[in-house]
Structures are given as structure tokens and as C-alpha cells.
Amino acid sequence: MANARITRDVFGTLPDGRAVDRVVLHGSNGFEARIITFGAALQALIVPDRAGCCDDVVLGHDNLAGYVDRRQFFGATVGRYANRIAHGRFVLDGETIQLNVNNGPNALHGGPDGFDRKLWQILAIDEGEQPAVTLHYVSPAGEENYPGRLDVRLTYRLTGPTELSLAFEARTDRPTVVNLTNHSFFNLEGLTQLSNILSHELMIAADAFLAIDDTAIPLPGPPRTVDGTPFDFRKPTAIGARIRNDDPQLRDASGYDHNYCLRDGQGVRLAARVVAPRAGRVLELLTDQPGVQFYSGNYLNGGSGGKGQLYRQSDALCLEPQVWPDTPNRPDFPSARLTPDQVYRHHSVYRFSTTGAAATSGAVV
């Protein structure tokens, strides 16, 4: 990749004195992915719009204190199990595992002190044609009460001029469950003049979704069809078009916060496409995972912010590739089990481009 390069600096220092590094992967036309070792997080993602103007398109903070002082998962790597496990409890090989709960009665995103709160180590930097950084974290057996020692590696790599690839690998020394993802909050109009994402047009390559109870745990039974519901994004649709429909699922979640069951397919395939009408930025998410959690920023309430902004409801959206939520308790769902003779792998790609002329329709508010 022409002119690709890597820079590195110290982003800040944790209260115990350990330094947090930032590695910047430089692509073409101003494209940059800025990664910090605290939480293996995507701290900033600089993307050109249709006019060639670059802006940050992910929520986050300009300093380490913002990440340490309040847990909001901005750009973070979440694990050992992304999303929720009902009551923090499951049975594995006849043994009942009781996790630490941190989301009402449930365990969420690895528990109270998940991977997003850990200082990862830089294992390798590749300054070649496709610049990359590989981060490493070892989760000891019993951390958050998960069984087994888990050795995790994550590589952020620029695989195109404006394309960021994430490759996760994990190995264990005894049977456990694993579900890792990135939790970036996207606003493709950019953060310089932050507006809500309700006018963003979204397509999700899924015919079904998981309906949830009032604690966000999937209900019994098979996935529900999206046909005839506000959850149908098989064709590009403004996120705000149906978000206020009087639907029990939207009411309980205060918007969209649901797992979409991606169509069966081998390897990395298109999962979702997002278009920002004003700036013309396009994000295509490709993944090899069986599901993607679509979250419409329902609980951003203006109580905090970063990068010079207060973050309010629907100021960003999340698309989290994953194994489905509560899988350890649902044998009818794709498995999250990992054994010592296996390697957990997850590969997702965030591919950016632009549309042509600016949209003429007004924003959905």
C-alpha cells in the first residue's frame, strides 16, 4: 500500500504507573486507525468523506482518563464473552459456572472487569505493505470466574487504502466459552459537527433476529423473522424510519439493541452496510461470525462525552460481530465452546468508501 506507515507514542499512564501506548496505522488519503493498548481499543478512526475531507468517525476520548474513569466500551475489545449470559450462569461439562454479574441479573461483556479494562501488550508491529499491530492478553484461569487460561491475540491491519481488518485468535488450556468482538460506536457524518445517526441508511444481511426479554436475554424459541417488523433492514433503510414504532421489542430496549442472525455462509462475507447521506461515507462490515449486534446508542444520555462533545442518545451506532448472546445456555444457538485442541478465530473487516452526490432528503429527527 503506497505511503502506508506506522507511528507510536504514549497515550497516557495508568494509576499504577504502567504506560498505555498508542499505535497509529496510516493508510491512504488521510485514513488512520489509532489503537491504544488499554482495552485494545480503537481510539480514533479517521476517514475521508466524498469531498476528501477527513474526520474521526468513532466515539471515544482524547485522553486516557476518559477511558479509565468511566466504562463505556468506546472502541473496546470485549471479552471473555461479548454480550450477555443469563444470570451469569451456565453448565459446562457437567460443572455449573457462576460468573460475576454486572448488568442487572446478567453477565455482560466479560463481567465487571472484562478485557476492555485490561492493559494489552504489543506483541508485534508490521510496517510492511499492509501495516499492522498485534496485541496480546493472557486471561488467567478463574478471571471473572471463567474456566481455563485464555491466551488472546488481536491483529489490527490495514488491508486496503481505507480498510481495517481485525483478526482475533484465542487458545485455552481447558474447556471454556469465548466470544470476542470490537465495540466501536460509529457516526459516519463525523465528530466535528456531531449529529445523530437516525438518518444513516442501514442494511443488515439477516432474515431473522433474536427477540429479547426486559433484561436483554433472548427469549425461548427460534429466531424471529424480520419480515413485516421494524427490524427489517434487508433493504437500505434509515435507522430512524421505524425506531419510534410502538413495538414491544423497541420499547423494552429503548430502540435497537438486538442480535441479527446472519445468513449462513462460509468465511468472511458482507454482514451490514451503512451510508451517511450528508458526508457520503459508506461502511461495509464483513465478518465470519454468525451474528451481529445492532445497537442504536439508546443509553447515551449526555451525562458524559469525549473529543470535545457530549454524547447523547442515538449519536452513534454499534455493529458488533459475535456469536449469539447467551449461547452457553442455548444448545440451539451456535456454539461458543472452546477446547484445548481448538483455536478460536474471528475475522471482521471494516471497509470504507464514499457515495456520489449528496442526498437531497432531509435528516430523520
Q: Which residues contact 264 (CB under 8 A, 6 or more apart)?
A: none
Q: Let me know if 220 is exposed, middle or buried by CB neighbors in 10 A (0-12, 13-18, 19+).
A: exposed
Cis ω for the linkage preceding 80 (within 30 of 0): yes
C-alpha of 279 from chain center: 22
Instruction: Using alpha carbons, list the distances in angstroms from residue 272 to 56, 350, 352.
Output: 20, 10, 12
204 touches 245 (CB < 8 A): no
Distance CA 218, CA 71 (A): 24
Task: Give, in order, the Cα–Cα distances in Å from 113 to each of 139, 180, 260.
Answer: 11, 15, 26
Among all residues, which ones are annotated catalytic? 183, 320
